[in-house]
Amino acid sequence: VIAMFSLAMLVPLAFAFCDPPRNALAAVLLLAAFIGTGVTFLAFAIMAEKRGDKSTAYPSKAFYYLGGLTEGTETIACFVAMCLWREHFALIATIYAVLCGVTTVTRMVQGWQRFG
């Protein structure tokens, strides 16, 4: 998980370095959104582990896997779109950051409902 998370950070960072005036703000927004999804994912998994909860939706996972709107497949599709339409990176990154924000909020709500 951490290795994939780290690799995912490099794509927006590369776009920011290639054209800072056009891409830096959107890249920073997307990076912050990635951090939000990662932190809430791992925080939920830690709390579930401490309580001994197991995921019935993903029984083959080593830890509690909490899905969301923006997961691996969606992220890869987003990166492909960014590479295909580089001139629209800022728009694509901003839209995806908003979707990641939705994932972060829904994970926080699920955590409060389950552990609060």
With tokens 């959107």, the residue in question is 26
Helix (H), strand (E) counts: the chain: 4, 0
Average pLDDT over residues 54-67: 72
105 contacts 36 by C-beta, under 8 angstroms:
no
Report how far residue 34's alpha carbon sits from residue 30's, in angstroms, rounded to the nearest whole number: 6
Q: Does pLDDT of 113 surpass 60?
A: yes
**Are 55 and 62 in contact, with CB atoms under 8 Å apart?**
no
Q: Which residue has the higher pLDDT, 1 or 110?
A: 110
pLDDT in tens, 12-40: 999 999 999 999 999 999 999 999 999 99
